[in-house]
Structure 1
């Protein structure tokens, strides 16, 4: 410690020493400047550097790297005295040190060798299409020197004709890989395979393009014919995806097929029949179809057949003349069918429609005309129909609860939305979407731990997307911490039957399931207790047992906010 005090203020980076309780023993001037603590008497790391991991590092004896604003933090355990040291490096110094590491130098050399190994053109761009690296085949194939290529924008190069079309631009817009034919400014023909690289949170990180020059290949014509069919498909996909509605959030192939079908039928006036469990997003899909159609500037009118009392649903749907019945609007009412004129009428929960109203709805579907209550004059409307239900209408027809002729009139273009349990790959993207929506709505900007994403992906959402959405809104509103962790989740999620017997019907490991459940109980007890002894009393075991199991399950006690 003497040497550290003697030389600390002459070191060009920040130095801080703290003990296992978080009490600060030393800060040099650079550290005080970074943390703005020159005129403070705060003595604990939690007060001046919230979220510090130095206590965890001291306990575990392993160094870790973290960040603070634009500064890289190297957290080091000091072997004696239960102390830890934090070194504060500005990012430019940190990256310079990292670039001089023998391992980093070896990796760079290996990457360079791989990129230039087969003579093909390899380019790597960032998420905005800016070229970061290019193989040495650049000048030979494109006629552009390597140093002139790096730093340029792929969309801009497409506009200037260096390459066209831009595979990078397509990947950035559609977040998917593609194989396409390209032509360079010098007239050379390339077949390019473009691949997106994603971060852990699902956002685009980089795009890698591997291009093969096929100009001189004798069978080029055959390959171009094969490629043409692929290109035709992607051109069709592009024309569809350009219409993409922002409300549709998906990654799974199952939902991609649903969306593709919705795009194909959006501009035709055929009746759409949407089926799916409660909460899967039937109304979202209906609105998407409307917004993709040529009726998007006309009204989208929703009528919930299960929410309106049977006694008034006919008058709500078809309207009525003035003075038709006591208590009615004295001027009459035009009804929702007429309100949707030239637009879309969405019949939600169609299975709940009273049998007595079904015949009149059938007439509206078949003839696009109806007679309001108390009127003799027929009203004609131009309406596109979309119906949705979570019930089995075919079974209701057999039971005599739903008209067979109406069922077949509705069942023209059926679209089934799979439950969330069948498209788990959508869950991380939905979580990210809802987190952004509610953080902005309530001005409470939160981040979410990777463990929660994994937990949510494994969880069986009986209420589907609606349940997940409500859970995310509740977490943003009720969790005071800026970073939402697994320990913040409601206890009911851990104790729900779907969680406890997950994997039933597959090969499950009873021992692993029991251990996982025991671990969650211990974590919950520790979070709600002020001491280890209190936690052990809640669980009905000795404190030594809790200590042993904490070590066994590698529970990160440093992150749990209680006094050990």
Structure 2
């Protein structure tokens, strides 16, 4: 038998604990309650003792109850309990067994997690606000870049933009790779405009458009009388014109072996002579090159110098074709429709079927082909709405395939693609998300969530 003094010591220990501790009988009668329990539930601890937890729940003191949970599950349980004050408690309750294994008591203890839940809610709200701010910053950034000819929505292009921004202000040679028409020239200008040389000139050479015999004169320039037909007084070459800026050599894979040697010498020494001249000149420019060829294959065929390849390939950036980034197509169409309509002062909109045909085309000519088609549609269509009849025949009859599963798609991918296409079509027909909801037969919040999910502004 426990003496009075010892019992008081146990009581003192119990009441010194900061946790809410309650001990009940199997019938729910409270035998012991710590002072903290009284504070949490809004009454003296002594007033809890002898009361039934079932009656207290009816009175709204707390809910749900630990005692019936433990009796039913016959093991430790943890759950969230709400007190009359609105406080949230994390309760852990466990059974106390007698000699025969029967449950004789239920002990529960809890922690007030109200502040934690409020903090969690606050953090969640802050995260939502930050996402909104980031979304707005991304939108403003994309609008600014669209004015420079850089339009994207896809994750692939997002990564490329991030890479170009990282290397833009570092004076290293960049090699842009990708099929014809993917936008290598626009990306080269993008790098230049964000570099420390942005106030200098951006000089572009298309190596495939200059004859082999004229390349040296175009690159280095020439002095008066250097050759028959030379301009009086001589002429600066691209290397001098790019002084303090960026020299962009497109289609570098088309250079002859002989001209590759001359370019390599310029890159290595940063010095050159004009044709016919004896004055050594310095070359201060940032070099960006581009090609649609596989230079590794060209090296294997001895068509491209390996040493030149290593000089220009310090930072390679591979731009995927438009068919591998379909999320960019709607953004490009929107941008080009606005740009071309303003250019020719013709207010035009695309019919939904035309939208579908353009979205589902493979665009083997990439961005350049898409731009040409949009410009053609705006200029040649008669009415304000561009219809299927206005679309060139080679771009028609894609629409029936909209629901077909692509070879490299999973079912979720196919469903996501079709959902996105339907949303874009609805957006063209409707002026607001409320109208879109009516058109699609769903709620307006559902439309808003789906638009955000698919990155549709």
For 1:434 and 1:355, locate their aligned partners in 2 and report how far apart those are by CA, in whole Å.
Answer: 39
Is 1:457 the counterpart of 2:359 in the alignment?
A: yes
- 260, 265, 272: which one aligns with 2:162: 260
Is 1:475 the counterpart of 2:377 in the alignment?
A: yes
Superimposed CA distance per residue, residues 430-469 of structure 1 (whole angstroms, 9 cap, x where no aligned partner)? 0011111111111111011233222212110010000000
Superposed displacement of residue 486, structure 1:
2.8
| Partner residue, 1:76 | none
Superimposed CA distance per residue, residues 45-81 of structure 1 (whole angstroms, 9 cap, x where no aligned partner)? xxxxxxxxxxxxxxxxxxxxxxxxxxxxxxxxxxxxx
Greater C-alpha radius of gyration: 2
* Residue correspondence of structure 1 range 101-140 to structure 2 within 5 A: none
Query: What SS class does the counterpart of residue 370 from structure 1 fall into?
Result: strand
Report which structure shows greater RCO (CA 8 Å, sep ≥6). 2
- Alpha carbons of structure 1 residues 189 and 274: separation in structure 2 relative to 1, 3 Å: closer
For 2:315 and 2:260, locate their aligned partners in 1 and report how far apart those are by CA, in whole Å.
Answer: 19
CA RMSD, Structure 1 to Structure 2 (Å)? 3.3
Superposed displacement of residue 270, structure 1:
0.2
Q: Which runs of 5+ in 2 are unaligned?
A: 1-118, 411-457
| Partner residue, 1:192 | 127
| Partner residue, 1:395 | 297
Note if contact 1:425-1:457 (Cα within 8 Å) is conserved in structure 2.
no
* Residue correspondence of structure 1 range 236-255 to structure 2 within 5 A: 244=145, 246=147, 247-255=149-157
* TM-score after normalising by structure 1: 0.47
| Partner residue, 1:357 | 259
Note if contact 1:420-1:461 (Cα within 8 Å) is conserved in structure 2.
yes
Query: What SS class does the counterpart of residue 208 from structure 2 fall into?
Result: coil
Superimposed CA distance per residue, residues 19-46 of structure 1 (whole angstroms, 9 cap, x where no aligned partner)? xxxxxxxxxxxxxxxxxxxxxxxxxxxx
For 1:437 and 1:346, locate their aligned partners in 2 and report how far apart those are by CA, in whole Å.
Answer: 26
| Partner residue, 1:312 | 214
Note if contact 1:280-1:464 (Cα within 8 Å) is conserved in structure 2.
yes
- Alpha carbons of structure 1 residues 400 and 303: separation in structure 2 relative to 1, 3 Å: same
Note if contact 2:142-2:152 (Cα within 8 Å) is conserved in structure 1.
no
* Residue correspondence of structure 1 range 17-416 to structure 2 within 5 A: 191-194=126-129, 244=145, 246=147, 247-416=149-318
Superimposed CA distance per residue, residues 247-266 of structure 1 (whole angstroms, 9 cap, x where no aligned partner)? 21000000001111000000
Note if contact 1:344-1:386 (Cα within 8 Å) is conserved in structure 2.
yes
Moved more, 315-324 or 364-373: 364-373
- Alpha carbons of structure 1 residues 506 and 252: separation in structure 2 relative to 1, 3 Å: closer
**Paired residues, what number?**
287
For 2:352 and 2:124, locate their aligned partners in 1 and report how far apart those are by CA, in whole Å.
Answer: 43
- Alpha carbons of structure 1 residues 333 and 507: separation in structure 2 relative to 1, 3 Å: closer
Note if contact 2:246-2:285 (Cα within 8 Å) is conserved in structure 1.
yes
- Alpha carbons of structure 1 residues 336 and 422: separation in structure 2 relative to 1, 3 Å: same
Q: Which runs of 5+ in 1 are unaligned?
A: 1-180, 197-206, 210-230, 509-564
Superposed displacement of residue 239, structure 1:
13
* Residue correspondence of structure 1 range 501-512 to structure 2 within 5 A: 505=407
Superposed displacement of residue 243, structure 1:
8.1
Superimposed CA distance per residue, residues 175-213 of structure 1 (whole angstroms, 9 cap, x where no aligned partner)? xxxxxx99x9xxx996331498xxxxxxxxxx6x9xxxx
Query: What SS class does the counterpart of residue 151 from structure 2 fall into?
Result: coil
Superposed displacement of residue 350, structure 1:
0.3
For 1:482 and 1:317, locate their aligned partners in 2 and report how far apart those are by CA, in whole Å.
Answer: 48
For 1:328 and 1:503, locate their aligned partners in 2 and report how far apart those are by CA, in whole Å.
Answer: 61
For 2:295 and 2:345, locate their aligned partners in 1 and report how far apart those are by CA, in whole Å.
Answer: 43
Superimposed CA distance per residue, residues 206-262 of structure 1 (whole angstroms, 9 cap, x where no aligned partner)? x6x9xxxxxxxxxxxxxxxxxxxxx9xx9x999998985632100000000111100
Note if contact 1:317-1:336 (Cα within 8 Å) is conserved in structure 2.
yes
| Partner residue, 2:324 | 422
Greater helix share, structure number: 2
Superposed displacement of residue 506, structure 1:
5.8
| Partner residue, 2:29 | none
Superimposed CA distance per residue, residues 362-417 of structure 1 (whole angstroms, 9 cap, x where no aligned partner)? 12112211122112222102100000000011111111111110011011000011
Note if contact 1:421-1:460 (Cα within 8 Å) is conserved in structure 2.
yes
Superposed displacement of residue 334, structure 1:
1.3
- Alpha carbons of structure 1 residues 400 and 262: separation in structure 2 relative to 1, 3 Å: same
Superposed displacement of residue 292, structure 1:
0.9
- Alpha carbons of structure 1 residues 371 and 437: separation in structure 2 relative to 1, 3 Å: same
For 2:223 and 2:299, locate their aligned partners in 1 and report how far apart those are by CA, in whole Å.
Answer: 33
Superimposed CA distance per residue, residues 452-492 of structure 1 (whole angstroms, 9 cap, x where no aligned partner)? 22221211001000000000000000000101123321112
Query: What SS class does the counterpart of residue 337 from structure 2 fall into?
Result: helix
For 1:191 and 1:468, locate their aligned partners in 2 and report how far apart those are by CA, in whole Å.
Answer: 40
- Alpha carbons of structure 1 residues 506 and 274: separation in structure 2 relative to 1, 3 Å: closer
| Partner residue, 1:137 | none
* TM-score after normalising by structure 2: 0.58
